C-alpha cells in the first residue's frame, strides 16, 4: 500500500519508511512531483498536521498522511513547541535551533522535555483521523551523536544514556514519538481493513 506523505522533508520520509512494516511505502511530495510548500499557520501541532493533510487531500483527492512534531521543554513553558522547526528563524536550520535552545537553557537545572508527534490520516472518503505519539526525556548540555536529524543530538530519551542521535535508527524508530504515532495509525488501518 502506497501512502502519500504531505512533506518535502526527506529525513521524515526516510524515517517513516523505516518504521512502516513490509507492504507499506511512504511517498513524499517531492517523489510525487508536488512542489507546493504548505504553510504551517496553526497554533498547535494538531492544527499544522491537519492543515498539511487537508491541503493535499483537497488538491489531489488521494489518501494522505501528514505529521507535525515538536519539542516541548518544561523550563521554557513548552517552547519551542509548534515552532520547533523554525525556532531560530525561517531558514529552519537545525544547528541554529539547537544552539538557541541550549543558550536559553544555560544554567537551568530542569532540563525535562518531551517530543510529540501528531499524525493526521485522511482516507479516500475524506474522513480524518489523528494519532499522537510522545516520548519523555531531557535536554543535554551539548550536542552528541551524528544520526537522526533536528534536535536528536540534544534529546536524551528517559531510560537511555544516549541521545537520539547516538542511537541506531532501529532503536530510535522503535521508541520515538513518531514511531508511537505511526503505530497507532497502523492499528487504525488494520482495524479499518478487517
Q: Is 152 annotated as a binding residue?
A: yes
Is 68 annotated as catalytic? Answer: yes
Q: Is 127 annotated as a binding residue?
A: no
Q: Is 84 annotated as a binding residue?
A: no
Grid cell at residue 131: 494519532
Q: Is 52 annotated as a binding residue?
A: no
Q: Is 168 annotated as a binding residue?
A: no
Active-site position among 22, 30, 67, 68: 68
- Residue 190: how many other CB atoms lie within 10 Å: 9
Q: Is 68 annotated as a binding residue?
A: yes
Q: Is 143 annotated as a binding residue?
A: no
Burial of 16 (0-12, 13-18, 19+ CB in 10 A): buried
- Residue 41: how many other CB atoms lie within 10 Å: 8
Cα–Cα distance, 34 to 168 (Å, whole number)? 31
Q: Is 176 annotated as a binding residue?
A: no
Q: Is 12 annotated as a binding residue?
A: yes
Element holding 28 (H helix, E strand): strand 25-28
Q: Is 190 annotated as a binding residue?
A: no
Element holding 69 (H helix, E strand): strand 64-73
Distances (CA, A) of 51 to 5, 118, 163: 13, 12, 31
Question: What are the φ/ψ torsions at residue 76 (nearest 5 degrees)?
Answer: -110, 25
Catalytic residues: 68
Numbered residues of the known binding site: 7-12, 68-69, 149-152, 172, 177-178
Numbered residues of the known binding site for substrate: 7-12, 69, 149-152, 172, 177-178
Numbered residues of the known binding site for Mg(2+): 68
Amino acid at each position: 500500500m502506497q501512502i502519500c506523505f504531505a512533506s518535502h522533508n526527506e529525513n521524515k520520509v526516510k524515517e517513516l519508511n523505516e518504521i512502516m512494516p513490509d507492504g507499506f511505502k511512504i511517498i513524499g511530495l517531492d517523489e510525487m512531483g508536488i512542489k507546493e510548500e504548505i504553510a504551517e499557520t496553526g497554533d498547535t501541532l494538531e492544527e499544522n498536521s491537519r492543515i498539511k493533510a487537508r491541503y493535499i487531500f483537497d488538491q489531489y483527492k488521494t489518501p494522505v498522511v501528514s505529521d507535525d512534531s515538536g519539542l516541548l521543554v518544561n523550563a521554557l513553558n513548552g517552547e519551542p513547541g509548534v515552532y520547533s522547526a523554525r525556532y531560530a528563524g525561517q531558514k529552519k536550520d537545525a544547528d541554529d535551533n539547537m544552539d538557541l535552545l541550549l543558550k536559553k537553557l544555560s544554567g537551568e537545572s530542569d532540563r525535562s522535555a518531551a517530543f510529540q508527534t501528531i499524525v493526521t490520516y485522511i482516507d479516500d472518503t475524506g474522513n480524518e483521523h489523528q494519532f499522537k505519539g510522545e516520548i519523555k526525556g531531557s535536554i543535554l548540555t551539548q550536542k552528541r551523536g551524528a544520526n537522526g536529524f533536528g534536535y536528536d543530538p540534544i534529546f536524551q530519551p528517559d531510560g537511555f544514556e544516549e541521545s537520539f542521535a547516538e542511537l541506531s535508527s532501529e532503536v530510535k524508530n522503535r521508541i520515538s514519538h513518531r514511531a508511537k504515532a505511526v503505530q497507532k495509525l497502523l492499528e487504525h488501518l488494520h482495524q479499518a481493513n478487517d
